[in-house]
C-alpha cells in the first residue's frame, strides 16, 4: 500500500471516527459501554500510528516567471 493511498483513505476514516465519537459523547448521558469505548480508542490508535509513520515533504510553490512589458523593462533598466 502506498502512502498516498493510505492518506486518501485515512482522511475520511478520521472524519468518521471523530463524528462517531463526538456526536454520541455530546448528545448522550451516562457512560459508554466499555467495549464501545475500547473500539473507539483502537480506531484513534490506528489513525495515530498511520500519521506518525508518514514522512511529510513540504511543498513550496515556485515563484511565477517574471515577464515585463517593454515599458517596464525600460523603467527597470533606468534604475540599474
User: Whole-prediction pTM value?
Assistant: 0.55
The secondary structure of 24-48 as a DSSP string is HHHH--SPPPHHHHHHHHHHHHHHH
Q: Can you tell me the distance from the alpha carbon of 13 to that of 75, in angstroms, rounded to the nearest whole number?
A: 56
Q: Average pLDDT for residues 8-31, to the nearest whole number?
A: 82
Q: Average pLDDT for residues 63-69, to the nearest whole number?
A: 80
pLDDT digits 0-9 by tens, 22-36: 877 667 777 778 888
Domain boundaries, given as residue ranges, for the chain:
1-57
Q: With contact defined as beta carbons under 8 Å apart, do 66 and 73 qualify?
A: no
Amino acid at each position: 500500500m502506498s502512502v498516498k493511498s493510505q492518506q486518501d483513505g485515512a482522511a475520511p476514516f478520521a472524519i468518521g471516527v471523530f463524528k462517531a465519537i463526538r456526536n454520541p459523547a455530546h448528545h448522550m448521558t451516562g457512560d459508554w459501554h466499555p467495549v464501545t469505548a475500547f473500539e473507539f480508542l483502537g480506531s484513534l490508535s490506528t489513525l495515530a500510528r498511520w500519521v506518525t509513520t508518514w514522512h511529510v515533504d513540504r511543498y513550496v510553490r515556485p515563484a511565477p516567471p517574471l515577464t515585463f512589458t517593454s515599458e517596464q523593462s525600460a523603467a527597470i533598466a533606468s534604475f540599474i
